[in-house]
Amino acid sequence: MAVFLLAAAWVGKIGSTWDSRLLSWVQFVLYMGVPSLLVLVIYGQSPESVGTFSRRHPYTHYVWTLVLALMTLSSVAFLTQLTETIAAGGRFAAWAQTWNDSRSQALEALLSDRSPQALMLVMFTMALSPAVLEEFFFRGIVLQSLLNSRMGTSLSIVIQALLFSVVHLSPYEFLGIFLSGILLGYLRTETQSLLLPMLFHFLFNGITLIAQFQWPDPESLEQSLSHPIIALIATAMGTLALYRLSNFSQAHE
């Protein structure tokens, strides 16, 4: 994995004059898509055998996945704000702020064009592609490998979520991404398919991008979402969504 991360960094240097959206997508495919493809080839597997995309889900699964994605936005915002507050003024804050500023500048560059066509392109490169490739790699290949090692379902979900958080290189958002990784791993094991985790991931990223794209003051929106009362309500609703998803799975085993 480190080799592909270095290769992506190298592409970033030689492609400094490319369109930032294209460069971001090429780098992402390089360090996430290529390793997934190599694993499939080496072990002679098909995407369907890893993701079981043909598994049927009732329409209620899609509704509750939407609810879970919406509620997780507030929970992640709260955890991010909490981390920033606790770390304020320390060495960690200075280091984390450097990474945060770098990510913010990259996002601003990607969203500099506010046309509908640009929004569709950004949704493809930053919402759909990560939803497919990251879920296939982390909740498909990594999580399934951990489960096959008889490590136990709970520990396997925690380990893949930890790896998922580390790869994002976002210190302030680490806890929020870790929570998302836990939820996505749980969805994968409960529904025995990558379809709903991919839907959750796409909705989460897509809604975030649209808010950044259309909201007059995205920071004020994030502050509102991170309010403890709103986060508490969102957590309760998200827990209900998880219960309904797992309740259906258990009833139809």
The structure tokens listed for 61 are 């699964």
- Could you report the per-residue pLDDT of 9-48, keeping only the tens digit for each? 444 455 455 566 677 777 778 878 888 988 899 888 899 9
Listed in sequence order, the residues at least 6 apart from 128 whose beta carbon sits closer than 8 Å to its beta carbon are 202, 206
Q: What is the pLDDT of residue 9?
A: 47
The structure tokens listed for 172 are 């302030």
Q: What is the pLDDT of residue 122?
A: 84
Query: What average pLDDT does this structure show over 216-231?
Result: 85
Identify the CA nearest to 31 among candidates 2, 58, 54, 61.
2
Q: What is the pLDDT of residue 20?
A: 66
Question: How confident is residue 84, by pLDDT bands cut at 50, 70 and 90?
Answer: confident
Q: Evaluate whether 21 touches 125 at the Cβ level (below 8 Å).
A: yes
Q: What is the pLDDT of residue 136?
A: 95
Q: Is the pLDDT of residue 8 over 50?
A: no
Q: How far is CA 146 from CA 37, 41, 152, 184, 237, in A?
A: 19, 19, 8, 15, 30
Query: What average pLDDT does this structure show over 77-95?
Result: 83
Listed in sequence order, the residues at least 6 apart from 21 whose beta carbon sits closer than 8 Å to its beta carbon are 110, 118, 121, 122, 125
Q: Is the pLDDT of residue 231 over 90?
A: yes
Q: Is the pLDDT of residue 227 over 60?
A: yes
Q: Where are the domains of the chain?
A: 57-251
* CA atoms of 206 and 196, how far apart (whole Å): 15
Q: What is the pLDDT of residue 106?
A: 66
Q: What is the mean pLDDT of the chain?
A: 84
Q: H helices then E strands: how many in the chain? A: 14, 0
Q: What angle do CA 194, 230, 208 make, to 5 degrees?
A: 45
* CA atoms of 171 and 99, how far apart (whole Å): 7
Q: Is the pLDDT of residue 232 over 90?
A: yes
Question: How confident is residue 248, by pLDDT bands cut at 50, 70 and 90?
Answer: low
More confidently predicted of 236 and 90: 236
Q: Evaluate whether 31 touches 4 at the Cβ level (below 8 Å).
A: yes
Q: What is the pLDDT of residue 16?
A: 52
3-state secondary structure of 95: helix
Question: How confident is residue 121, by pLDDT bands cut at 50, 70 and 90?
Answer: confident
More confidently predicted of 192 and 103: 192
Provide the percentage of residues in the chain whose pLDDT is more than 70.
84
Question: How confident is residue 118, by pLDDT bands cut at 50, 70 and 90?
Answer: confident
* CA atoms of 225 and 204, how far apart (whole Å): 14
- Could you report the per-residue pLDDT of 146-200, keeping only the tens digit for each? 999 888 999 999 999 999 999 888 888 999 999 999 999 999 999 999 999 999 9
Query: What average pLDDT does this structure show over 84-113?
Result: 73
Angle between helices 116-123 and 195-214 (to 10 degrees): 150
The structure tokens listed for 140 are 């498909």
